[in-house]
Amino acid sequence: MTNQRKAHNFIRRPRWRGFTLMEMLIVLGILVMLIALAAPRFLGAQKKADIQTAKTQIGLFRGALERYALDMKTFPTTEQGLEALITPPATAEASVPEGTGATPAAPASKWDGPYLNVSQIPLDPWGNPYQYRYPPERGTTDFPDIWSYGPDGQDNTEDDICSWGAPGQGQASREPGAGTFDRPTAPTSPAGPPGGPVTPPPGPPPMPPSRPANI
């Protein structure tokens, strides 16, 4: 019995060794490098997705405003804002600012909304309210101005996402995907050369009169 105990004492038991500080630092460094490589791509994809979301939302506003105008014969005023798409008019007839040239609105009974299937007007992807102006102040058509401040949250900058012309008073946007909606342009006829209309090339010279034959 004593010999068995002695033999058992000589058997080495496995010992679990923990990570050293150097090994933990190496693993941590590898994780930091992986995050540094993946983070810019993820953030860039997220920014593009937010810009596309804002464009899509503005497009939905445009469609709802067109349906509103069919019923009410005009667009909501700046004071009414986009809320007019989901809230019926409070008065019998919406007021139209004098000197704007806007068409008087139809009676409130013509309102056939809500024109958006939401309980409240959503914010843009950066948490700011969409901006609305009618009569338009920046666009060149009679359609209302709708825009988002964009990623920087500031008005009239290069990354604004708007429904008219170019953002930032015509400046080109540096944000990928930011700016305005693409609108088809009317085809133009080819311009003629300077100096007037094109004249056809001269024909062959006239033939000389034939002489009578001598008899």
User: In a 3-state reduction of DSSP, which class is residue 93?
Assistant: strand
Q: Per residue of the chain (215 residues), what is the pLDDT tens digit?
A: 555 555 555 555 556 666 788 888 888 888 888 777 776 666 678 888 999 999 999 999 999 999 999 999 999 999 999 999 999 987 644 445 555 555 566 678 889 989 999 999 999 999 999 999 999 998 888 999 999 999 999 999 999 999 986 554 433 344 444 555 544 344 444 454 555 555 555 666 666 555 555 54
CATH fold of 53-180: Glycoprotein, Type 4 Pilin (3.30.700)
Does residue 148 contact residue 120 with C-beta atoms inside 8 Å?
no
Range list of β-strands (E), the chain: 131-133, 145-148, 161-162, 179-180
Does residue 146 contact residue 130 with C-beta atoms inside 8 Å?
yes
Domain residue limits, the chain: 53-180
R_g of the chain, CA atoms, integer Å: 37
